[in-house]
């Protein structure tokens, strides 16, 4: 602990951002770097608690509490306060393969469980993590480090999202020859096509890490879907082990009247085609434009926020976001104590941008859609909504949303985006391998073991645990690499 009185002397200071009205003119990242002196002050706020919860990585109340990759947060906070940036980078890389990704898009459950947060605003852990890794890139400290020798074992990783990349990185470090298969035209999975460019730049941030992984010996094979372009039998024959990191990509639908109308799309169709257009420099055939349209987004979370921000950048006429859950409180409720993730009202970047344009938060709470209205030509013209009350069933204890009579509304919409989460991985690939599934259709494999019913076939990330955070994906990628290494070699020194 560098400065015992740091948390008393210094207030929490978040990094500056480009103003909403300016940043919506492009697809660039909008967070501004913080001066080193300010970062050292923020690092000084870390109390180096006797029992830190920030790096515990627990699940409390079904949500992450602390860092799932177990970042050594108090250690690198202290190192930043002392100005020891290279040492801080080494500590950060001990637990996290991709701090440049988590430092940008992770919701920071570490800050939600910061001990200082009990009485004061928590330490700016996420920004310090971001600053450490960016300093490492700027100084040229991050260079390819191929393994000194190869084991002769070959591993196929299916899916190049955060779980797949973490698994590939760790296995390559152990000396195995790793090939990553990706059905899209670029590697990165969720990192490339699931997150908009203004949150995570693809050409600079994602590409530079992929270039390092390639230079270290990992092979990426894109435009290749297992089960179509390559059979699962060939994969099992050509490799000593196979790791499935295909994600949870089946979107939840809304089968109400008018669902088949034109102009109603899943959120990821919208976001993926947009990122493809940004990277290619021109719209593709599947591009969906929100320009000049009244846009209604059904669902919340990060995906809903990304749809709001993307629609605003397209130049939408208006944007409305419907959330079936109640509006969160401004502060923690007694039922949501520390160190649980604070379920409080937040104005995320997309809603902030929409508010700057249209004057208010675009979200409407305790509201659900009941019908999509036809314009007479097969296109959506409006969304009919109704407010709901969440009432508890005495026998089951479950809450059910009941429609509130007289609360019906008609919301104009020429574009509707469904952002209601995901149901699990796509099933044909799992069928071809003959893998057992859980009741939620995920691959059946225990956490910390990752072994399926098929010898030599492992599963990790969202296809195993369901839709989750990027830090859980990295956690599982590292874990499955360790177990795969143990399977191949009889033991493993991977963390």
* Phi, psi (deg, nearest 5) at residue 445: -160, 130
Give the number of other Cβ atoms within 10 Å of residue 20's Cβ. Answer: 18
460 touches 68 (CB < 8 A) = no
Asked whether 382 and 351 are in contact (CB, 8 A), the reply is: no
Distance CA 378, CA 260 (A): 8
Query: Phi, psi at residue 15, to the nearest 5°?
Result: -65, 150
Return d(Cα 432, Cα 2) in angstroms, integer: 56
CA dist 409 → 183, 412, 413 (Å): 42, 10, 12
154-249+423-489 and 253-420 share one CATH topology? yes
Domain boundaries, the chain: 6-139, 154-249+423-489, 253-420
Per-residue pLDDT, 63: 86
Architecture of the domain whose range is 6-139: Orthogonal Bundle (1.10)
Tell me what pLDDT residue 1 has.
63
Global confidence as pTM: 0.96
Mean pLDDT, each 10-residue run in order, the chain (495 residues): 86 96 97 96 91 89 91 95 97 98 97 94 97 98 98 98 98 98 97 97 97 98 97 97 97 98 98 97 96 97 97 98 96 93 95 98 98 98 98 89 97 98 96 96 96 98 96 97 98 96
For residues 274 and 278, give the distance between their C-alpha atoms in angstroms, rounded to a whole number.
6
**CATH topology assigned to domain 154-249+423-489:** FAD/NAD(P)-binding domain (3.50.50)
* Confidence (pLDDT) at 51: 86
Query: Based on the number of CB atoms within 10 Å of its own CB, is 152 exposed (0-12), middle (13-18) or buried (19 or more)?
Result: exposed
253-420: CATH topology is FAD/NAD(P)-binding domain (3.50.50)
CA dist., res. 34 & res. 15, Å (int): 6
The answer to whether residues 114 and 123 touch, using CB atoms and an 8 Å cutoff, is: yes
Residue holding tokens 């944007």? 319
Give the Cα separation of 259 and 269 in Å (integer).
16
What pLDDT is attached to residue 150? Answer: 98
- What was the pLDDT predicted at 126? 97
């Amino acid at each position: 602990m560098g400065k015992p009185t740091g948390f008393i002397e210094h207030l929490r200071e978040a990094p500056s951002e480009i103003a909403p009205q300016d940043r919506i003119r492009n697809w660039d990242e909008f967070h501004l770097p913080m001066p080193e002196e300010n970062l050292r002050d923020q690092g000084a706020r870390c109390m180096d608690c006797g029992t830190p919860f920030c790096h515990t990585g627990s699940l409390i109340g079904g949500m992450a509490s602390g860092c799932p990759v177990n970042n050594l947060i108090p250690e690198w906070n202290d190192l930043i306060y002392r100005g020891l940036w290279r040492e801080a980078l080494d500590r950060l890389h001990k637990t996290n393969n991709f701090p440049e990704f988590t430092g940008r898009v992770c919701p920071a459950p570490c800050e939600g469980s910061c001990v200082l947060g009990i009485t004061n605003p928590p330490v700016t852990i996420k920004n310090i993590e971001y600053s450490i890794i960016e300093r490492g890139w700027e100084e040229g400290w991050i260079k390819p480090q191929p393994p000194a020798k190869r084991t002769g074992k070959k591993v196929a990783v299916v899916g190049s999202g955060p779980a797949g990349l973490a698994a590939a990185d760790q296995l390559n470090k152990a000396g195995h020859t790793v090939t990553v298969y990706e059905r899209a035209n670029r590697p990165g999975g969720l990192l490339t096509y699931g997150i908009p460019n203004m949150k995570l730049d693809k050409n600079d941030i994602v590409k530079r890490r992929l270039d390092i992984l390639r230079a270290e010996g990992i092979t990426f094979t894109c435009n290749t879907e297992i089960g179509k372009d390559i059979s699962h039998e060939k994969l099992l024959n050509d490799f000593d082990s196979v790791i499935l990191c295909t994600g949870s990509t089946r979107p939840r639908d809304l089968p109400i009247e008018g669902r088949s109308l034109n102009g109603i799309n899943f959120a990821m169709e919208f976001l993926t085609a947009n990122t493809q257009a940004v990277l290619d420099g021109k719209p593709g055939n599947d591009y969906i434009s929100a320009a000049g349209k009244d846009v209604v987004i059904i669902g919340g979370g990060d995906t809903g926020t990304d749809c709001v921000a993307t629609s605003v950048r397209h130049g939408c006429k208006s944007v409305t976001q419907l959330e079936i859950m109640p509006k969160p409180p401004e502060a923690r409720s007694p039922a949501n104590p520390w160190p649980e993730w604070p379920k409080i009202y937040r104005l995320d970047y997309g809603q902030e941008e929409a508010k700057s344009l249209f004057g208010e938060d675009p979200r409407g709470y305790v509201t659900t859609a009941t019908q999509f209205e036809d314009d007479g030509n097969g296109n959506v013209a409006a969304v009919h909504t109704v407010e709901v009350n969440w009432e508890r069933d005495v026998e089951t204890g479950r809450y059910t949303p009941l429609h509130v009579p007289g609360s019906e509304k008609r919301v104009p919409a020429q574009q509707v985006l469904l952002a209601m989460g995901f149901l699990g991985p796509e099933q044909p690939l799992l069928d071809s391998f003959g893998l057992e599934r859980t009741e939620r259709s995920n691959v059946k494999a225990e956490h910390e073991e990752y072994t399926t019913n098929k010898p030599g076939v492992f599963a990790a990330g969202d296809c195993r645990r369901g839709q989750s955070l990027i830090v859980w994906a990295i956690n599982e990628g590292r874990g499955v690499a360790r177990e795969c290494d143990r399977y191949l070699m009889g033991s493993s020194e991977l963390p």
